[in-house]
């Protein structure tokens, strides 16, 4: 799924990457082991809490689409919350560690297995060396986050190990056959019997603050944005969530010079359909931004067709 460029409606142009394994020369700490990717699925990426503070150089934050879910998975296995793990999209994945590790899976409700043994989302799981960890496709929702004791120790770029799918910074998306280096084993995992997961709503409600370019749209456009339902388009990714619904008519025609955009910015291309920028959003864009969403986390689990409604910020 592709969200589209920030300043034009064309598909995203991603940075070119060399052929071959995504992580061919990342040996990691000596003796710390690796985790082999047997099945990566369509989009599994290495993510941590991102690389904030570089927007002035054109570098977006990136990082996990649900930072709290990744942080929880890391706490469950004894890692610091900032450790890198895997963000798994829609179809699950299969992994095999070279050493005994603890893993934890958070996010969407899914079946997790260690060898033939069933596990649970939201609990630390002991994995013997060479055992296969399988995360099945989620029953609902869209994404899972997997942490492994020691963290995924690929080389950091600008202080983060996160994969930025738009700019190409960080490691390439994970592919079958990759061998991801692990960091040294941390302390014991958290003594947890059960964690309370977040249910996936059938309707996503997003608080939106109008501006900075809401004056480029008619009053009818704002009425439509707040008064009608939209649906998540199949054309979306970590860059942004495209929505389908009532087109938002412009009051000002013509071109807008590219200007800064932030996480949660709702940009409106020429077709009038809103696009909500997510973690890998660009830092500038040339279409007007009608408003900014306070928290885009609910969109991390929104499958195509999910209903989305906007409302004003809570006071």
* Helix ranges restricted to H, 152-311: 219-227
- Segment 43-62, tens digit of pLDDT: 999 999 999 999 989 999 99
Fold (CATH) for 203-311? Cyclophilin (2.40.100)
More confident residue, 233 or 254: 233
Q: What is the pLDDT of residue 254?
A: 84
Q: What is the pLDDT of residue 48?
A: 98
What does the block give as tokens for 81?
A: 């919350």
Beta bridge partners of 127: 101
Which residues, in sequence order, are CB contacts of 313 under 8 Å at separation 6+?
207, 208, 209, 294
**Quick one: DSSP state of residue 82?**
T
Alpha-carbon distances of 159 from 48, 84, 291, rounded to whole Å: 10, 12, 30
Highest mean pLDDT of the ranges 32-36, 242-246, 256-260: 242-246
Helices (H) and strands (E) in the chain, counts: 2, 20
**Nearest to 311, CA basis, from 236, 219, 221, 210:** 210
**Domain locations along the chain:** 34-181, 203-311
Taking residues 137-147, report their average pLDDT: 96
- Segment 19-37, tens digit of pLDDT: 334 454 445 555 679 999 9
Question: Over 70: is that where the pLDDT of 10 sits?
Answer: no
More confident residue, 90 or 254: 90
- Segment 264-275, tens digit of pLDDT: 999 999 999 999
Q: What is the pLDDT of residue 194?
A: 65
Q: What is the pLDDT of residue 189?
A: 81
Q: What is the pLDDT of residue 200?
A: 79
Question: Over 90: is that where the pLDDT of 301 sits?
Answer: yes
Question: Over 70: is that where the pLDDT of 78 sits?
Answer: yes
CA distance 278 to 266: 10
CA distance 169 to 7: 20
């Amino acid at each position: 799924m592709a969200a589209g460029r920030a300043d034009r409606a064309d598909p995203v142009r991603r940075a070119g990457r060399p052929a071959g394994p995504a992580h061919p020369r990342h040996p990691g700490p000596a003796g710390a082991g690796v985790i082999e990717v047997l099945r990566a699925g369509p989009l599994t990426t290495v993510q941590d809490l991102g690389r904030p503070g570089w927007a002035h150089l054109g570098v977006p934050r990136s990082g996990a689409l649900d930072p709290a879910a990744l942080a929880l998975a890391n706490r469950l296995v004894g890692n610091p919350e900032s450790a890198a793990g895997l963000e798994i999209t829609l179809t699950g994945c299969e992994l095999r560690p070279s050493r005994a590790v603890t893993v934890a899976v958070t996010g969407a409700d899914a079946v997790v297995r260690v060898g033939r043994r069933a596990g649970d989302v939201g609990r630390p799981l002991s994995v013997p060396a060479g055992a296969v960890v399988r995360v099945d496709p989620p029953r609902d929702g869209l994404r899972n986050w997997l942490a492994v004791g020691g963290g995924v120790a690929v080389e950091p770029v600008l202080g983060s190990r996160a994969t930025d799918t738009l700019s190409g910074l960080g490691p390439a998306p994970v592919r079958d056959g990759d061998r991801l280096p692990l960091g040294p084993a941390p302390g014991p995992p958290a003594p947890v019997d059960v964690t309370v997961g977040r249910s996936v709503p059938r309707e996503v409600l997003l608080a939106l603050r109008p501006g900075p370019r809401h004056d480029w749209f008619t009053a009818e456009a704002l009425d439509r944005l707040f008064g009608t339902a939209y649906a998540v388009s199949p054309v979306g990714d970590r860059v942004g969530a495209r929505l389908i619904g009532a087109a938002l008519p412009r009051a000002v025609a013509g071109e807008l010079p590219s200007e800064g955009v932030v996480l949660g910015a709702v940009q409106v291309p020429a077709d009038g359909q809103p696009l909500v920028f997510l973690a890998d959003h660009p830092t500038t864009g040339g279409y007007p931004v009608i408003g900014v969403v306070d928290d885009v986390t609910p969109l991390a689990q929104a499958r195509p067709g999910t209903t989305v409604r906007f409302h004003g910020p809570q006071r």
